[in-house]
Chains A and B, each alone.
Chain A
Amino acid sequence: MIAENTQTQMRKGILEYCVLLIISRGEIYASDIIAELKSAKLLVVEGTLYPLLTRLKNNGLLSYNWVESTSGPPRKYYELTDVGRGMVQQLDTTWQELSYAIETSKKTK
């Protein structure tokens, strides 16, 4: 239970970072984000992505456009705002720090 909780916490933070990374590569549709996260074996269930995207958008990190689709109704395409890009840079640094921390922790062990 404790391990599970920690795993969830870790995954939650990394998921947010990964989502921002995927979107930082350019305009992207939610389904494609999901597909990428799945191939990265990070996402457990799709439903968790939507609250996350909404939260990131509300924090001003993301914005979206409605784009016409050939099959079905228009889709939401997400892209990073300037704030979002700043956030990704910050997170990049944090991630390097963290991976350094983990590497060192493992070595000393």
Chain B
Amino acid sequence: MKRTLNINIGNSIIHIEEDAYELLRAYLNEIKSHFAKGADDFEIVTDIENRIAEMFREILFTQQKQAISIEDVSMIIAQMGTVRDFESMETEDEGAASFEAPVIKRLYRDTENGMVAGVCAGLGHFLNIEDRWIRLAFLILIFFGGAGFLAYLVMWIIVPRAATRSEKMYMKGEPVNLQGFIRNFQEEVENNELVKRSGGFIREMVDLLGKFLAGSGRVIFKVFSGFIIFCAAMMLLSIVVLLAAFLGVFDANASEYFPFNMVDANYLPILMIACFVTIAVPLLALILLTVRAAFNGRPIHRSVSFGLLIIWLVGISTGIFYIAKVSAEFKEEAEFTQETTIKSYPVYTLEMDNSRFFSKEDSIKYHIQMDREKGRVILQDYDGAFNEPRNVRIHIERSLGDKISVTQNYSAQGKNFETALKNAQNITYGFVQQDSLLRFSPKLHLNKPSNWRDQEVEVTVKVPVGTKLNLHEDLDRYLSQYGSWSCNQEDDVDHEYTAWEMTAEGLKCAHEIKTGVPHQ
């Protein structure tokens, strides 16, 4: 395929191929510059042009062609004679005509000899250096913060591609005249080079990428596909293990832990399987597709893919159904408050009670013999606080009168107000006063085992102005407004307790009140 141009020569419109046009233009330019001395020379050139047009028409007519090719133009030039032939007939101005135009070199990208976009090959022509040294220089420059890469990219965009014959000749520094043209043309015919045509930077880039993928990129693609298959297979395996674990195959009671304790134990397995299917089917499909794309595997049978799709749809719809059902259980919220008045002391110490009663289940769970211990066994238990939503909050507020009180606000959710209230009433919260020591339980307990319904206890301690409080650092996690971190002593020693005092503006660090440093 070649592009053709329309030219008007000797009052005829002629279709001419692009390379043929360039050759013709060079030829006519040479003739024009040769016949540019006398007043009649315009006439001579016109005569010659007319004759060429006539020969073109003859060629087109006799050969039944649509366009003039470069071979036709070469033939016509041979018939018409070059300027040198004219000169030999005009001996009188022989001396004056031997004027050699200086060779002009221009920078183009040589895409025919280039490795990537021909920048290096083009620079090689321009600087008269072998292109491999320029490539080496660019490679070395890449290690200087990618400068070589950037420079290459910029030159790729800025420097034009040597597309036409004359551009290629300018690039190589060949004289762009008729002899040069013919020589270049013959060289090309000998080398049987194909004239590559492409449109701009993006197109070249895509072509190159395609070539790269088709060649060495194929290997990388396979490696990458293998990696994807491996990852997907591992994920599939891990969710199979997870499902097995949750369904109790590995003796782990998932329904005790958040967020699985949200779901009623009766339909937890179904929801689990639904979720599993929802994740597993796309993973399986990804593996099958990647295997097929990268390793030319057999196409997936239609019934298999169809079956997978149906299984996935069933899985996701079951999942959505149960998730909607569970969400409905959280529709209404109910709460009730219980207030306890406590004995007045000038200084209180607030602590968390990390001990709990050793139950029968615990003895089985931890393999501890009950009868060896007398009565109460203290267990440190930090479990719940991390994997459950915080369900105990403690506030410290200023009371209006002199009364000191502890308010416990129980709240929970349910599908209607009644169940929500029932859920809230199911909560027991342990709070103990031992003289001036107030001990709070770190978690609430449910009287009857039930699902997680956002059961919460808000404990509000109200003390009058002037009351001093010593807060244990364990309280930090439960207090939303204050914390020992904002009340550090200057001596940088880790104190278990920080001293606070209730003021008219609220609770303040005792240390700050003393020194007058404003509270941050």
Q: Which of A's residues lie within 8 Å of B, judged by CB?
A: 5, 8-9, 12, 15, 30-31, 44-48, 50-55, 58, 71-73, 75-76
Contacts and interface: CB of A to CB of B under 8 A. Distances in A.
Contacts of A54: 40, 43-44, 47
Contact of A47 (B10, B31, B40): B31
Interface of A is mostly: helix
Contacts of B81: 44-48
Contact of A76 (B40, B47, B91): B47
A71 to B, nearest CB: 7
B223 to A, nearest CB: 65
B88 A73 contact: no
Contact of A51 (B54, B78, B82, B86): B86
Q: Size range of the interface on B?
A: 20 to 34
A73 B99 CA distance: 36
Contact of B79 (A9, A46, A73, A75): A46
Contacts of B90: 51
B462 to A, nearest CB: 113
B80 interface: yes
Given A44-B81, A46-B80, A51 B35 contact: yes
B100 interface: no
A50 B11 CA distance: 18
B496 interface: no
Nearest to B42: A54
B54 A72 contact: yes
Given A46-B51, A72-B57, 9 more contacts: A9-B91, A30-B51, A44-B85, A48-B89, A51-B35, A52-B89, A53-B47, A54-B40, A73-B12
B11 A73 contact: yes
B437 interface: no
Contacts of B91: 5, 8-9, 12
A50 B81 CA distance: 11
Task: Name the residue among A30, A44, A45 with the largest chain B CB count within 10 angstroms.
Answer: A45
Interface in B1-52: 10-12, 31, 35, 40, 43-44, 47-48, 50-51
Given A31-B54, A45-B79, A45-B81, A50 B10 contact: no
B47 A12 contact: no
Interface in B65-117: 78-82, 85-86, 88-91
Contacts of A30: 47, 51
A48 B90 CA distance: 9
Contacts of B82: 45, 47
A72 B57 CA distance: 8
27 contacts: A8-B89, A9-B91, A15-B89, A30-B47, A44-B85, A45-B82, A45-B85, A46-B81, A47-B31, A47-B81, A47-B85, A48-B85, A48-B89, A50-B44, A50-B47, A51-B44, A51-B86, A51-B89, A51-B90, A52-B89, A54-B40, A55-B40, A58-B40, A72-B11, A73-B10, A73-B12, A73-B50
Interface string B52-64: 0110010000000
A30 B44 CA distance: 12
Contacts of B43: 54
Contacts of B10: 73
A35 to B, nearest CB: 12
Contacts of A76: 47, 50
B240 to A, nearest CB: 85
Contacts of B44: 50-51, 54
A72 B47 contact: no
A47 B85 CA distance: 8
Contact of B57 (A9, A12, A44, A71): A71
B53 to A, nearest CB: 7
A31 B50 CA distance: 10
A19 to B, nearest CB: 12
A41 to B, nearest CB: 15
The 6 closest A-B pairs by CB, nearest first: A45-B81, A47-B81, A73-B11, A50-B47, A47-B80, A45-B85
Contacts of B79: 45-46
Contact of B12 (A31, A72, A75): A72
